[in-house]
Structure 1
Amino acid sequence: MRYLSLLALLIALYPILILASPLSVRADAAENEEQQQEQEQEKPPKPAETKYFHEPGGDDIMGHYDTRFFHGVVSYDERTDTLTHMIRAYLEFFRENGLETWIAHGTLLGWWWNGKMLPWDWDVDTQVSEETLLYMGDHFNQTIAQYISEDRKVKRRYLLDVNPWSRQRDRGEGLNIIDARWIDIRNGLYIDITGLSELHPDVEPGVWQCKNFHKYNTEDLYPMRQTTYEGVPAKVPFKYDSILIAEYSGKALSSTHFQKYVIDYTFSL
């Protein structure tokens, strides 16, 4: 009889339990949502992006110096001498330390014509993979590299400075599209170093891009070609010609006149 009474009680209470259960679940869900909102509010706000590298001006001349080491605009001859030794030192340092890098943009165009810088260029552009960029930041950031020319007549020092915003691989607010610099600390002229990342491997597998919207397919870049630039070993992307045409048009590989300059095509690579 005791068991029958207990069973009758459970049967009588069953509708009440069924009705109460969803209310309890809804209450728990509301409480969890409220707790999540409180936790989100307690999180510190994401820091506003600030520009890391600064230049003394924004034009073609002043925009190619690092403010920290700028002491005045250098002459054409000093600029040429600075950039020539700077890229040699850069390529030697990266090769000696097992850091993969390759020349890009106008620097690549100069290589295509004669294996040297274009005489009107104000800086040098190079690229690295995201993997190399992160490794640089962890192991070589703020390195002061000593350089002595092959004839031992030129001695220079360069700062490898990795932008702390380089780990943010999307463009963000566009204030830090340059991921690192190789800077001549005598006058502030520099090499721009940008990293390439596979930002959307799920929808764009094998597409690599920098923060300035330059995009490349894996087969455009690899395998890298071994070459020389300004007299030292260097690397260029596998499909360098199609990369240059996409960036500058086919005319850049055929026109021998630019501003006051005439290019002697007989020395092209």
Structure 2
Amino acid sequence: MHVSESDIFFLAAYYNMSTFSFQGSGIPRASRYLLELSPYAKDREQADALHPADARWIDTKTGLFMNAYAVRYNLSHPDSEGRLRLLSCKDGSEIVLWYLSLHRITEED
């Protein structure tokens, strides 16, 4: 799961080690989940090679978890030039954004 860098900062500041309940339709009892943030969640570089995730949602009953990674602008990447912006995560995934400049067409154009 990917979240924005500002959202990771917010979760780290206010919700680290919080538990949440979720009950879907047709499920007799609510499931409980723990949000655990890495001590390195605010770091841009990967500090822990074995556990690069910035956060985890952990099912408190089964121990199954889903990793969450912050998506950050990578301005030092060689392909991040001009209108192209590259986002990257500590898991090695990359997302390319194109910035479009809007030009209002007038009768003179």
TM-score range, shorter chain: 0.7 to 0.9
Give the structure 2 partner of residue 154 of structure 1: 29
Q: Hey, which bits of structure 1, 4+ residues long, moved more than 4 A?
A: none
Residue 175 in 1 paired to residue 54 in 2?
A: no
Query: Following the alignment from structure 1 to structure 2, what is the Cα–Cα distance between the partners of residues 194 and 215?
Result: 12
8 Å contact 1:198–1:208 — kept in the other structure?
Answer: yes
Q: Highest relative contact order (Cα 8 Å, sep 6+), 1 or 2?
A: 2
Q: Secondary structure at the match of 1:159?
A: strand
Q: Gaps spanning 5+ residues in structure 2: where? A: 99-109
CA deviations over 1:183-223 (Å, ceiling 9, x no partner): 0011210111111111326962621101122111124xxxx
Q: Could you tell me the percent identity over the aligned residues? A: 22
Query: Following the alignment from structure 1 to structure 2, what is the Cα–Cα distance between the partners of residues 202 and 209?
Result: 10
Residue 214 in 1 paired to residue 93 in 2?
A: yes
Q: Gaps spanning 5+ residues in structure 1: where? A: 1-125, 220-269
Alpha-carbon distance change, 153 to 167 in structure 1, aligned in 2, over 3 angstroms: same
- Structure with max Cα Rg: 1
Query: Following the alignment from structure 2 to structure 1, what is the Cα–Cα distance between the partners of residues 2 and 48?
Result: 21
**Greater percentage in helix:** 1
Give TM-score scaled by structure 2 length: 0.74
Please list, as runs of the form range in 1=range in 2, the aligned pairs for 1:44-59 lying within 5 A after superposition.
none
Query: Following the alignment from structure 2 to structure 1, what is the Cα–Cα distance between the partners of residues 4 and 66?
Result: 16
CA deviations over 1:165-192 (Å, ceiling 9, x no partner): 1111112352331110000011210111
**Greater percentage in strand:** 2
CA deviations over 1:85-120 (Å, ceiling 9, x no partner): xxxxxxxxxxxxxxxxxxxxxxxxxxxxxxxxxxxx
Query: Following the alignment from structure 1 to structure 2, what is the Cα–Cα distance between the partners of residues 159 and 151?
Result: 22
Query: Following the alignment from structure 1 to structure 2, what is the Cα–Cα distance between the partners of residues 149 and 155?
Result: 8
Query: Following the alignment from structure 1 to structure 2, what is the Cα–Cα distance between the partners of residues 172 and 140?
Result: 22
| Offset at residue 151 of structure 1 (A) | 3.1
Alpha-carbon distance change, 155 to 208 in structure 1, aligned in 2, over 3 angstroms: same
Q: CA RMSD in A?
A: 2.0
